[in-house]
Chain A
Amino acid sequence: GQSLEQPSEVTAVEGAIVQINCTYQTSGFYGLSWYQQHDGGAPTFLSYNALDGLEETGRFSSFLSRSDSYGYLLLQELQMKDSASYFCAVRANSGGYQKVTFGTGTKLQVIP
């Protein structure tokens, strides 16, 4: 099966940079995704990394190291609206099917 580990909570100051780490254990790895979920809302897709390296999308970047089974989400120029939970998710081969397994989420609090 798959297992993922990410910090449960992170606090950062408005305007700062924060990095949310995710380590995973899986076989048949295809890629790592990140989702954002505001309180009371549905998760929304942020990024997907299948290859090693950094992918940048505006203020958000995502990094993957397949050899280290590690990735992170980098949020720059933090805004109050970035306060939310962030989930990493591994896409991997499981019993011949591609399955996505989510981590337990990191609750980010942005403070003034």
Chain B
Amino acid sequence: DVKVTQSSRYLVKRTGEKVFLECVQDMDHENMFWYRQDPGLGLRLIYFSYDVKMKEKGDIPEGYSVSREKKERFSLILESASTNQTSMYLCASSLAVGSSYEQYFGPGTRLTVT
């Protein structure tokens, strides 16, 4: 079974702090994604990566950066956390090619910025 793990289920940070959210997948997937989920807004893509060292902006990249130094790990960085970044953050991975392009999601990190 594919397993996507995220470093924390719950996180509380102060405004202005640098925040690291880590995601690890164990199925050798090429593609990895970071989303944030807010009530009524669905899942919005922050950044994605289709290969090591590669990153592309999603729909809402402002205030975020990412790092992919190893194939299995994709990190989301909030350079200076703000209260409007309080949200559920979901990481996902998928194969680069396939019949369904199914994304496998981690359990999520609920981040609160105070």
A: which residues have CB within 8 A of B?
A: 1, 8, 31, 33, 35, 41-45, 47-48, 87, 89, 91, 95, 97-105
Alpha-carbon gap, A24 to B94, bound state (A):
22
Kindly provide the distance from the CB of B77 to the nearest chain A CB, expressed in whole angstroms: 21
- Complex Cα distance A62/B56, Å? 30
CB-defined contacts of A99 to chain B, threshold 8 Å: 45, 48, 58
B101-A42 in contact (CB<8A): no
Contacts of A45 in B (CB 8 A): 100, 102-104
- Considering only residues 84-114 of chain B, those with a C-beta below 8 Å from chain A are 90, 99-108
Q: Is the CB of B43 within 8 A of A33?
A: no
For chain B, the count of residues having a C-beta within 8 Å of the partner chain is: 24
Residues of B within 8 A of A87 (CB): 42-43
**Cross-interface CB contact of B43 among A8, A98, A102, cutoff 8 Å:** A102
Contact partner of A104 (CB less than 8 A), chosen from B40, B45, B50, B59, is B40
Instruction: For the complex formed, measure the closest distance between the CB of B105 and the CB atoms of chain A, giving whole angstroms.
Output: 4
Q: Contact between A48 and B100 (Cβ–Cβ < 8 Å)?
A: yes
- Residues of chain B with a CB closer than 8 A to A89's CB: 43
Q: How far is it, in angstroms, between the C-alpha of A101 and the C-alpha of B106 when the chains are bound?
A: 18
Determine which of B44, B50, B100, B101 lies in contact with A97 in the assembled complex, contact meaning CB atoms within 8 Å: B50
Query: What is the bound-complex CA distance between A98 and B58, given in angstroms?
Result: 11
Pick from A33, A48, A95, A102: contact of B42, CB below 8 A.
Answer: A102
Do the beta carbons of A42 and B108 come within 8 Å of each other? yes
Complex CA gap A18/B36 in Å reads 28
Q: What's the nearest-Cβ distance from chain A to residue B26, in Å?
A: 15
B90 touches A101 (CB 8 A): no
A42 near B90 with CB under 8 A, answer: yes
Contacts of B102 in A (CB 8 A): 33, 45, 48
Q: B56 — which chain A residues lie within 8 A by C-beta? A: 95, 97
Docked pose: A105 CA to B102 CA in angstroms: 17
A/B interface sample: 24 pairs, CB < 8 A: A1-B59, A31-B101, A33-B100, A33-B101, A33-B102, A33-B103, A35-B103, A42-B108, A43-B90, A45-B100, A47-B100, A87-B42, A87-B43, A91-B101, A97-B48, A97-B56, A99-B45, A99-B48, A99-B58, A100-B103, A101-B45, A102-B35, A103-B42, A104-B42
